[in-house]
Amino acid sequence: MNKIASLLAALALSVGVQFNALAVDATAPDALVKSVTDDVITIVRQDKAIQSGDTRKAVELVETRVLPYFDFAHMTRLAVGKDWKQASAEQKTVLTQEFKTLLVRTYSNALTQYRNQQIDFKPLKAKPEDTDVVVRTEVRQPGAKPVQIDYNLEKLADGWKVYDVLVAGVSLVTNYRDSFGQEVRTGGIDGLIKSLKDKNKQLDATVSAKK
């Protein structure tokens, strides 16, 4: 995934801020996404540390404001695919934690590259009783073609949560499936877990170096 896609993924991931708090009063998922997106963009525009490339600050922002509002268990199941059935309950828990950490570290870094992109929201095509919807947006950037971002949300007992984001038609979650499958074929579920842990250690080292 190229730098532009990573940046857009970061914005997509950051859309989770305050999802749970607003879900009770929100009448439509698209209105919720728009409200939260505006909040996130405002924070990033005002935070000089994030703008200057402080990845640690970006990580803290995502960890404290975003994590509760994404269904990482669902996201991990999608990413692992058919191999998910092989995993024990304990392995599934570890996989979910490590995949969550990978997404946060990867896209927090990309978040520092935000530079005044404009986000347009498309009309929501869903029924009031729907519990699984797609919110479609388009990101406009100076000197580049608009890029479509689709948010997949599900309505759970504690409100709407994101379980996948598509950038230009490419799923951020299932984008990992081929590489995850290769890791499982090579070293089993434990091999995939080890690979994720190693990647997270490398990303943590990078973040520490930039602090």
User: If 0-12 CB within 10 Å is exposed, 13-18 middle and 19+ buried, where does residue 177 land?
Assistant: middle
Nearest to 66 by CA among 6, 10, 14, 103: 14
Helix, strand or coil, per DSSP, at residue 64: helix
Q: Supply the Cα-derived Rg of the chain in whole angstroms.
A: 17
Q: How confident is the model at residue 16 (pLDDT cuts 50, 70, 90)?
A: very low
Nearest to 68 by CA among 35, 44, 36: 36
Phi, psi angles (nearest 5°) of residue 135: -100, 120
- Does residue 1 or residue 152 have the better pLDDT? 152
Residue 25 has pLDDT above 60, yes or no: no
For residues 143-165, give the mean pLDDT.
88
Specify the DSSP class assigned to residue 24: T
Residue 39 has pLDDT above 90, yes or no: no
Residue 80 has pLDDT above 50, yes or no: yes
pLDDT given for residue 82 in this prediction: 96
Average pLDDT over the chain, rounded to whole?
Answer: 81
Residue 18 has pLDDT above 60, yes or no: no
Q: How confident is the model at residue 64 (pLDDT cuts 50, 70, 90)?
A: confident
Q: All domains of the chain, ordered by start, with CATH?
A: 3-210 (3.10.450.710)
Choose the most confident range, by mean pLDDT, from 93-97, 106-110, 155-159, 161-165. Answer: 93-97
pLDDT given for residue 85 in this prediction: 96
